[in-house]
Amino acid sequence: MARTVVVTGSTSGIGLGIAKGFAAAGDTVVINGFGEKDAIEAACRMLDEAGAATVLYHPADMTRPGEIEDLIRSTAKTFGTVDVLVNNAGIQHVAKIEDFPPEKWDQLIAILLSSAFHTMRHAIPLMKAQGKGRIINVASAHGLVASPFKSAYVAAKHGIMGLTKSVALEVAQSGITVNAICPGFVLTPLVEKQIPAQAREKGISEAQVRDEVLLRLQATKEFVAVEDVAAAALYLASDAARSITGTHLSIDGGWTAQ
């Protein structure tokens, strides 16, 4: 039977890739995120063609708890429940701690960490009522290790690792698993934006930023594919992963082995 899958921040990049994976499995997917109307309609068509049972877009802003509540409640109203929740929405801001704008700090913590608290607190009662559920938090290699100039991102990603473990223990006897996925660098708009900025800042070429900065610790020397992250999400959502909870899957080309 088709599962109802909510993926936050899925108009682009990893989230859209995960939504496509669930669509191809014949699930109902609720996508969310920002973008032009035409691009969002194209994403919905793509998911439909990939095989989704139903596709719905919800515009909730992940900095607004009331809108997040509406995302979960309106999904449950339309489809009966939420079977799989993927907390994925994200942004990045790179700056020295002393130059880090406080409003950017608040925004990153809200989107990368607090939004998952809000989706979970509304989705878990629905999952408990049906005795099963899957929650997948897209963290990062930066949930395990740090890089300079990414204080808010690294703090939020470490935070979501703790949130994942804590909630996993709370719901362990309710048929619900809670896990994180920790990708290394994936070439999405979030990362592409950093390349020219870092080239300018460091006075090096864009190719050098890719090879010597971004892929420096990625032992494979290749970006992680969106499809590989989606495959991990589908596995964690499967029955075969029922005993995996409160942990993470690294998909980082060997980065955090060092």
Beta carbon of residue 229, minimum distance to ligand NAD (angstroms, whole number)? 8
The rounded distance, in Å, linking the Cα atoms of 201 and 190 is: 17
Sole binder of ligand NAD in the list 4, 11, 114, 245 (CB under 6 A): 11
Q: Which residues pair with 179 in a beta bridge?
A: 136
**Which residues have a catalytic role annotated?**
153
Beta carbon of residue 22, minimum distance to ligand NAD (angstroms, whole number)? 15
Determine contact, residues 177/245, Cβ cutoff 8 Å: yes
Closer residue to ligand NAD (CB): 13 or 246: 13
Determine whether 148 is exposed, middle or buried from the number of CB atoms within 10 Å of its CB (0-12, 13-18, 19+). exposed
Beta carbon of residue 156, minimum distance to ligand NAD (angstroms, whole number)? 8
Residue from 13, 11, 29, 9 nearest 234 by CA = 29
Residue 102 interacts with ligand NAD (CB under 6 A): yes or no: no
Closer residue to ligand NAD (CB): 221 or 242: 221
Residue nearest to ligand NAD (CB): 13
**What x/- string results for residues 168 through 207 when contact with ligand NAD is judged by CB under 6 A?**
---------------x-xx-xxxx----------------
The rounded distance, in Å, linking the Cα atoms of 162 and 180 is: 10
**110: Cβ–Cβ under 8 A, 6 or more apart, which residues?**
62, 63
| Residues 42-61 contacting ligand NAD, CB under 6 A | 61
- For the chain, what percentages of helix, strand and coil (3-state, to nearest 5) are there? 55, 15, 30
Helices (H) and strands (E) in the chain, counts: 10, 7
Closer residue to ligand NAD (CB): 40 or 240: 40
Binding residues for ligand NAD, how many (CB under 6 A)? 29
At 5, phi and psi to the nearest 5? Answer: -120, 125
- Distance linking the first and last C-alpha atoms of the chain: 42
**What x/- string results for residues 62 through 91 when contact with ligand NAD is judged by CB under 6 A?**
xx------------------------xxxx
Beta carbon of residue 212, minimum distance to ligand NAD (angstroms, whole number)? 16
The rounded distance, in Å, linking the Cα atoms of 12 and 39 is: 9
Residue 213 interacts with ligand NAD (CB under 6 A): yes or no: no
Sole binder of ligand NAD in the list 94, 111, 161, 233 (CB under 6 A): 111
Residue 147 interacts with ligand NAD (CB under 6 A): yes or no: no
Residue 34 interacts with ligand NAD (CB under 6 A): yes or no: yes
Binding-site ranges for ligand NAD (CB under 6 A): 9-15, 32-35, 61-63, 88-91, 111-112, 138, 140, 183, 185-186, 188-191
